[in-house]
Structure 1
Amino acid sequence: MTTKAFASQADLEEKKVSFTKLSEHAYAYTAEGDPNTGIVIGDDAVMVIDTQATPVMAQDVIRRIREVTDKPIKYVVLSHYHAVRVLGASAYQPEHILASEDTLSLIKERGEQDKASEIGRFPRLFRNVESVPPGLTWPTMTFTGKMTLWLGQLEVQLIQLGRGHTKGDTVVWLPQERILFSGDLVEFDATPYAGDAYFSDWPQTLDNIAALKPEKLVPGRGAALQNADEVAQGLAGTRAFIADVYAAVKAGAAAGKDLKAVYQETMAAVRPKYGHWVIFDHCMPFDVTRAFDEATQYRDPRIWTAERDIEMWKALES
């Protein structure tokens, strides 16, 4: 019996980077569905939201920041704990790395396993992985619920609007400009990864984002959304995917079917609508496994290890 490799291990094509100006203070670093980075330029300092996966990859973000400002990069914000979002942090040499207390607890509990698991399953996203310093990326300052920073006259709010992609999800909100950096709570034309998700909480969290009435939004993956209609589209697409996957998985679980049968039925149900989204084949085994766990016996996500990744993949894709 042969098992095909993780879908992502065959994903080797370089993506085209865009550096999009959203306002005098906000930029989006996006790359055709690869993980995005947000940039906030205040009066006296720069904030980077999600770092890229390695310090070498982060250098490209820094190069583009330096094309528009020479202000110091004082703050790095971790929207959540996943390795692909945080392991580039050292390149920025920030004064502070900010995260929610919930994100810190996840780093303590499962950061090492997540790092090994992610690097193993998605090699292209960890270019020059040898440039990552030993150990994990640790926040220097944490908050619960909400934290407001002033970069001179620019108000920047870090807010936990609810659980979704992880329990620690943090958005960055510029209320004066109505620009939101959502992290992986919102994706655009890219498949949400839900291996650490709370399916039953995520739709309400998206409603809480919508209630802020953002006029522009930088998703975790996909192009920057540059008007209210595009923002609404991004929220609706993410919400529909989460709801559709969870409904299919819950129905299968309620009928007493095993995980593999539920996976096959869910794939058949959602592929016509979402199969063209970036990283669909990569995410779905993790998404369905987590949804099945949540629908059956695990309210909180189980830790993904490199070994568990491989076992799951064999069980579902062999």
Structure 2
Amino acid sequence: MAKQFASHGDLEEKTVSFTEIGEGLYAFTAEGDPNSGVIIGDDSVLVVEAQATPRLARKVIESIRGVTDKPISHLVLTHFHAVRVLGASAYGAGEIIMSDAARAQVAERGQEDWDSEFGRFPRLFQGHEEIPGLTWPSLTFRDRMTVWLGNRRVDIFQPGRAHTAGDAVVWVPDQEVMFTGDIVEYHSACYCGDGHFGDWGRTLDRIMAFDPAAIAPGRGDALLGRDMVAKAVANTRDFVDSTYRPVARIAAGGGTIEQAAAAVRAECDPKFGDYAIYEHCLPFNIGRAWDEARGIDTPRIWTAERDRMMWDLLQK
């Protein structure tokens, strides 16, 4: 029997955690659903990642109001994916920040990504009727920028391509804490459908060069302490490599994408089969790995139609 498409079978509400990961720094997590981050400055708050809808964003805001009544002045979106950005209107932030590359991806493929993710994640688009349209930044940067929340410095920069070509991370130097978006995950599959396998490891190296004391990953629990950070980053690296390596081997040998999928399962199922959204991500990850192994540098745009085609081909 064919598996239910993507996350159509995932309908149970997740338990939310709001974990302090440094002084005035919090990770909003929900059992493998997309995370958000909170940075409290002297006079205002910066939020990292908006959630998929205004309704879900208000859950983040409710958690924020449990620890501060300061206004939300800035919203940083680490990349363009719909589940990260379409709740932005709920925050009322004066500045919405993305990298130049991420904004370009909104323009190039934002609507297609919205349609695609809406079809994959029914539960994450609760209240989608409130979404006013595509989320556009009010402020963009190339390479890096700094935001001052009073005396608190917040650095936003691109460490390299990984989950997407426009990935940014947020670094709070006074606490040595980083918000990585989906470059780093914890006990959750990495979604690699818009990824760059060959660059991902180098990007992780650049993150680790900061020696973070804690990380708020894209999905999964907050990573507290350098040992937990190192283990999660190593695990993320293993997931990415274990997905790409078998595909590249089969492609180089003239095999088929179906053979590549079997090879990925043989390597990844024993290690990652119980991770959040593992089955969901698998066909899209293999599809992108297959393209990259054959020299396609820019990920092809995922549409609702292409999603179904790849699922039916590889997720039997």
Give the TM-score, by structure 1 length: 0.98
Letter in 1 for 2:11: L
Secondary structure of 2:140's partner?
strand
Q: What is aligned with 2:38? A: 39
1:176 aligns with 2:199: no
1:297 deviation in Å? 3.1
Letter in 1 for 2:254: G
1:4 deviation in Å? 3.7
Letter in 1 for 2:45: V
Secondary structure of 1:9's partner?
coil
Q: What is aligned with 1:114? A: 113
State the number of aligned residues. 316
Kept in 1, the 8 Å contact 2:23–2:175? The answer is no
Separation in structure 1 between the aligned mates of residue 55 and residue 268 of structure 2, nearest angstrom: 36
Separation in structure 1 between the aligned mates of residue 244 and residue 3 of structure 2, nearest angstrom: 26
Q: What is aligned with 1:18? A: 17
Once the two structures are superposed, what CA deviation does each residue of 1:104-156 show, in whole Å capped at 9, x if it has no partner? Answer: 000000000000000001111111111211x2000000001010111011000
Separation in structure 2 between the aligned mates of residue 45 and residue 223 of structure 1, nearest angstrom: 25
Secondary structure of 1:167's partner?
coil
Q: How much is the aligned-residue C-alpha RMSD, in angstroms?
A: 1.0
Given candidates 196, 199, 209, the residue that maps to 2:197 is 199
Secondary structure of 1:231's partner?
helix
Q: What is aligned with 1:128? A: 127
Once the two structures are superposed, what CA deviation does each residue of 1:251-282 show, in whole Å capped at 9, x if it has no partner? Answer: 11111111112112211221001111111100
Q: What is aligned with 1:83? A: 82
Q: What is aligned with 1:239? A: 237
Secondary structure of 2:182's partner?
strand
> Higher mean Cα deviation, 113-122 or 14-23?
14-23
Separation in structure 2 between the aligned mates of residue 281 and residue 75 of structure 1, nearest angstrom: 34
Secondary structure of 1:202's partner?
helix
Instruction: Report % sequence identity.
Output: 51
| Deviation >6 Å, runs of 4+ | none
Q: What is aligned with 2:310? A: 312
Separation in structure 1 between the aligned mates of residue 4 and residue 187 of structure 2, nearest angstrom: 24
Q: Structure 1: give runs of 5+ residues left out of the alignment.
A: none
Once the two structures are superposed, what CA deviation does each residue of 1:53-82 show, in whole Å capped at 9, x if it has no partner? Answer: 100111111111111111110100001000
Letter in 2 for 1:141: L
Secondary structure of 2:39's partner?
strand
Once the two structures are superposed, what CA deviation does each residue of 1:184-233 show, in whole Å capped at 9, x if it has no partner? Answer: 00000000000000000000000000001100000000000010001001
Q: What is aligned with 1:187? A: 185
Q: What is aligned with 2:269? A: 271
Q: What is aligned with 1:262? A: 260
Q: What is aligned with 2:66? A: 67
Letter in 2 for 1:74: S
Once the two structures are superposed, what CA deviation does each residue of 1:12-35 show, in whole Å capped at 9, x if it has no partner? Answer: 121100001122220110001110
Separation in structure 2 between the aligned mates of residue 237 and residue 297 of structure 1, nearest angstrom: 26
Letter in 2 for 1:115: W
Separation in structure 1 between the aligned mates of residue 280 and residue 5 of structure 2, nearest angstrom: 7
Separation in structure 1 between the aligned mates of residue 303 and residue 2 of structure 2, nearest angstrom: 18
Separation in structure 2 between the aligned mates of residue 282 and residue 77 of structure 1, nearest angstrom: 26
Given candidates 213, 216, 224, the residue that maps to 1:215 is 213
Give the TM-score, by structure 2 length: 0.98
Kept in 1, the 8 Å contact 2:248–2:290? The answer is yes
Q: What is aligned with 1:29? A: 28
Separation in structure 1 between the aligned mates of residue 111 and residue 75 of structure 2, nearest angstrom: 20
Letter in 2 for 1:290: R
Separation in structure 1 between the aligned mates of residue 152 and residue 159 of structure 2, nearest angstrom: 21
Separation in structure 2 between the aligned mates of residue 41 and residue 51 of structure 1, nearest angstrom: 16
Letter in 1 for 2:114: K
Secondary structure of 2:75's partner?
strand
Q: What is aligned with 1:294? A: 292
1:161 deviation in Å? 0.3
1:5 deviation in Å? 2.9
Letter in 2 for 1:296: R
Separation in structure 1 between the aligned mates of residue 123 and residue 33 of structure 2, nearest angstrom: 10
Separation in structure 2 between the aligned mates of residue 60 and residue 313 of structure 1, nearest angstrom: 32
Kept in 1, the 8 Å contact 2:213–2:225? The answer is yes
1:3 deviation in Å? 4.5
Letter in 2 for 1:30: T
Secondary structure of 1:173's partner?
strand
